[in-house]
Amino acid sequence: MPESKDLDVETNMWSKALKEKRVRRRNKGVVKMPQSKPRKFTRATLSRMTPSERSATARSITCGETMTQPHWIWDDSSMVEVIDSLTENNWDHIFVINSEGAPQGRIHAVDVLKIIARKTVNRDIAWMHGIPAQQLVNQPPITVNEATPLLKAGALMLAHDLNQIGVVDAKGALIGVVGHITMARKMPKFIL
């Protein structure tokens, strides 16, 4: 009887070193990014403030206080893993980070669909297992520091037509994101 071959595309296409690296990462569990402690602004606190105090407080809110957990994937992950992460979690984008946690770029779901539409022939998707996430990045990421004012991050998002922007720590590692939703939650308190 002939020997059975391993037909798992994922197993066959990755190098031994890359497979070992992935196994080590999977055994570590989920990596959590550190978060800053936000200040609490209640209606009572805000109602006691003068308009100038409200304005100063709104300008002092930092990205580190308001950021949320980022959606990310390792730079050596395959295109299949990118697609799985995007679809399973219902995300519209995902950051690509290197082994130090520094963002290398951002992949948008629409960009992935465009690549698939150009490359898929006879519904063959085996080629996706060999393409690392780093190759899907088309622009370097625009990031801000933890201490960057939220209003400045909002201006950057508007200027570059982004719905989210990455927040990095002093070492350049991705620790969170701020987006339009963050702005919508935090800023109206000071306006109304």
Residue 133 contacts residue 77 (beta carbons within 8 Å):
yes
- Between CA 19 and CA 113 the distance in angstroms is 26
Q: Where are the domains of the chain?
A: 49-191
What value does the CA radius of gyration of the chain take, rounded to a whole number of Å? Answer: 21
Residue 165 confidence (pLDDT): 92
Query: Which residue type, as a one-letter code, is found at position 130?
Result: G
**Entry pTM:** 0.69
Q: Please state which CATH number belongs to domain 49-191.
A: 3.10.580.10
Mean pLDDT of 80-92: 88
Q: Tens digits of per-residue pLDDT, 126-167?
A: 667 777 787 778 778 899 999 999 989 999 999 998 889 999
- Between CA 16 and CA 104 the distance in angstroms is 24
Q: Tens digits of per-residue pLDDT, 20-78?
A: 555 555 555 545 555 556 666 666 777 787 888 877 887 888 888 889 999 999 988 88
